[in-house]
Structure 1
Amino acid sequence: MHPVDHTLPDVLALAWERVVSDVADRQPAPEPAVLVGTAVAALILVLWRPAWRRARHVVTIAHEGGHAVVAMLCGRRLSGVRLHSDSSGLTVTRGRASGPGAIATFAAGYPAPTLVGLVAAVLLSRGYALAALWAAVLVLALLLVQIRNFFGLYVVLLAAAVVVGVSWWAAPEVKVALAHLGTWFLLLAAPRAVVELQRVRRRGRGHESDADQLARLTRIPGGLWVAVFATVTVGGAVLGVLLLAAGAGSPP
């Protein structure tokens, strides 16, 4: 027998079929040990400072992605996204300097990781761990074309490579574990990012923060905006925990 030579379109078609199949398939619910273990691992990433300094880039990706998506939904023009080595980021949009669109754009950042985590938790609760992973790949690919600095390219490409590698080659239980780890991390990390925001503001270095930008746009004090962010992220984390716990108890 002669080996079959596949053209690039053939390879892409086969890859697409594989992805579609993965997205449509349901995976068994994780064992309780996996659910608890991934939650503990995510908590360590959030609370242990050396790990947090690196893992926080994932939160920044979701945060800046939230700004970008809402800006476009509000009719603003997206000029680009920058991710920095200190885990800060910047999303540049063009449009009216005030008004509902500007307010919604600034308000979207801190709740965004929670929203992404909740969407993933819904998918996981219904057994669609691979769908959650491939959705993450799609989001990273869309963000990649808007990145405007080399470090940002590095961070997004690294995150995408990890998710694609696990989604394509890892054992099913590893895929399910990674999906849960990522979801736990986003849900638990979002409140910490809000705490850090308030710490920066207390030190007098938060004049350009989302909360203070919103204060100037709305005349609502920045502290109240921080309280709104805290309420959304903590409430979302609680809801996410309930969804993931319910999913673990569901039949495959």
Structure 2
Amino acid sequence: MSELLADKTVLVTGAANGIGAASAERFAAHGARVVLVDVDADHGEANAEAIRTAGGDATFVRGDVSSAADVKAFLAAAVDRYGRIDAALNNAGIEETGTPFHESSEDGWDALHAVNLKGVFLCMKYEIRQMLAQGGGTIVNMASVAGLIGLPLGIGTYAATKHGVVGLTRTAAIEYARQGIRVNAVCPGVVRTAMLDSAINAGMFTPEEAAALHPTGALLSPRDVAETAAWLCSDVSGGMTGQAVAVDAGMTAG
């Protein structure tokens, strides 16, 4: 077992599948105590049990990041169990599958913003309160390359939420830089997850076309992103705050 996150308690939202599930597993492998949060209780608890079976320390708490009451409740449960939250990965998010901007619905706009942006806002708000009380901590927000550049893929609302996540990240990083709290974002490229499968099934692109968005010609795995998140949650990255780190196989380089 790695010692990268030894003796740290890390909270992961959206931990039932995809990048969140991979991150919870990798954080535990790096020595962390992990609190998994998701609305999908079956898969979330199964992931926590898999970590415990492998010798790690993990707890699942059901929670909806778009609800302030839920956010306060799962953070309280984490602190009750482990005493503190050293790091948090605010990963929960939903996708938009190829809707031309002029055909976007107000309901779709509201739904994506409720989870992808308001959810990050609420998690950060209450995580920062806890971290101020305990003397510091680290927050990593899941953004996207769609939060850094424009992409003509019918994901205008999704891109708006992810640009918002980057803005929240940078602003909070500056505001709390002298209070022992670091805040960074990870901006993945095209990752092979259930969300990508939904986009492929919706006809946005084929797997080959998705991979071709990367100069490497290959899709990323959830573990690629999870390892970067683990590093940002660790003390090894202590000199970094306010950064939007692209994990994108070169997608934004040119």
Rg (Cα) greater in structure: 1
TM-score normalised according to structure 2 size: 0.28
TM-score normalised according to structure 1 size: 0.28
- Per chain length, whose mean CA-contact separation is higher, i.e. which structure has more relative contact order (CA < 8 Å, sep 6+)? 1
